[in-house]
Amino acid sequence: MINQENKDIMKTYKRFLIAVVIITFILSSFFGALFGFMAGNLGQGKLALNFLKKEKSQPTFQEDMNFEPKMTFPDEESAVTASVQKASPAVVSIIVSKDIPKMQNFFSDPFGFDPFFNPFGSGQQPNQGETEKQEIGGGSGFIVSKDGLIVTNKHVVSDQEAEYTVMTNDEKRHSAKVMAIDPTNDVAILKIEAGNSLPILELADSGNLKIGQTVIAIGNSLGEFRNTVSKGIISGLKRNVTAGNGFGQAETLSEVIQTDAAINPGNSGGPLLNVSGQVIGVNVAMAQGAENIGFALPINLVKKDIESVKSKGKIVQPYIGVRYIPITKEIQQQNSLSFDYGALVLRGERVTDFAVVPGSPADKAGIVENDIILEINGTKIDPSHQLSDQISKFSVGDTINLKVWSKGQEKTVQVKLEERK
């Protein structure tokens, strides 16, 4: 029989057991949550560590989707210096020498005044019949064949009584022979004998030039500073300018390149380069009284001359055999012409200045005086497309179509080009 005291003990024991169970549950839940949190954080830390390691060694797919490759380009300064270094060995200076009267001093100024300010005069007079060779000018050029062909301007070597010397980049001097002179363009080809391994310049395609393109000019500035380098851009294309030499001689330059790269006296005949060191033009003139306006002949106009000299030893130019004047609005009005463009076929002032050369291609095609040549192969003859310039683009033996206004009627005639004699 269980008495009251034993019942109380049993109740107390049950309460103790319940309390132990509750406390055990609470503690188990707490520590379970704590260990789970720590395990979770450790796992995330491990994943983060693995992610960092993976990021360093191999990008994830998401990174690959957003990946932008970095592309590097050579800066302009490096490109220009590399171009100059590549081209300079093939750029030459041309020295013009001539026998001129030898001067004799008959009075010596004891005060050593500058002759310009000397009130007694220069104190010099030419010796009768005596001459001495002196350098009277200079220009530039560039080598286009390993055996010594050199391109320069016609006006640099126009004096038939002068002698020409080429100074190469290694400061060696070579006697130069004028191989050929272009009758229509300001181009001449020289030849030096200096072996068969000379450095040469690569010729670019000047038909693909863009305004704003970076260009480099190299030449014998002022006839004194060899291989002077100037840099600029292409300021204009297909310009038509009239260039003079200061002695009353002038010529029209058609479809030339305008640049703001400095073109100084002595630069004539030197190369105008792109940033790859290729020739895009031949420096030919500068504008007087202006800053940074220079001009160069497109190299595509010169390539035919170079190839002609290489294959034939001379420049072979096609011609049709007419004397003409370009028609302008003023000439149209003065002569009551039907067109304000084209080439009017006219005789010259002398009896022998025929309007159409007898036996020439134009004569054979039936062209006569007072005809107006309007087009060549569909190209209108105007200030931007001169007759002679258009003909020079063809070769001897080519047949061209001329649209002609003759005796009040328009007709088309075929002309087979022949060699200019």
The catalytic residue positions are 155, 186, 268
The tokens 């002196």 sit on which residue?
Answer: 134
- φ, ψ for residue 72, nearest 5 deg: -110, 140
For residue 253 the two structure tokens come to 């330059």
C-beta separation of 397 from 388 below 8 A: no
Asked whether the beta carbons of 373 and 332 are under 8 A apart, the reply is no
Partner residues linked to 344 by β-bridges: 325, 372
Q: What are the residues whose beta carbons fall under 8 Å from the beta carbon of 245, sequence distance 6 or more?
A: 155
> Quick check: helix, strand or coil at residue 153?
coil
Residue corresponding to tokens 């070579």: 174
Rounded Cα distance between 164 and 135, Å, is 10
Give which of 226, 261, 248, 217 is closest to 138, Cα–Cα. 226
Type of residue numbered 218: I
Nearest to 273, CA basis, from 211, 204, 188, 187:
204
Residue 247 DSSP code: S
Q: What is the CA radius of gyration of the chain?
A: 42
d(CA 12, CA 15): 5
Gap between the Cα atoms of 342 and 371, Å rounded: 10
Distance from C-alpha of 362 to C-alpha of 365, rounded to nearest angstrom: 5
CA pair distance 13, 402, nearest whole angstrom:
131
CA dihedral 99, 243, 326, 157 (to 10 degrees): 30
C-alpha–C-alpha distance, residues 367 and 355, integer Å: 10
Query: In 3D, which of 317, 296, 198 has the Cα closest to residue 254?
Result: 296
Residue found by looking up tokens 């001495």 in the block: 132
Tell me the backbone φ, ψ of residue 148, rounded to 5 degrees: 110, 20
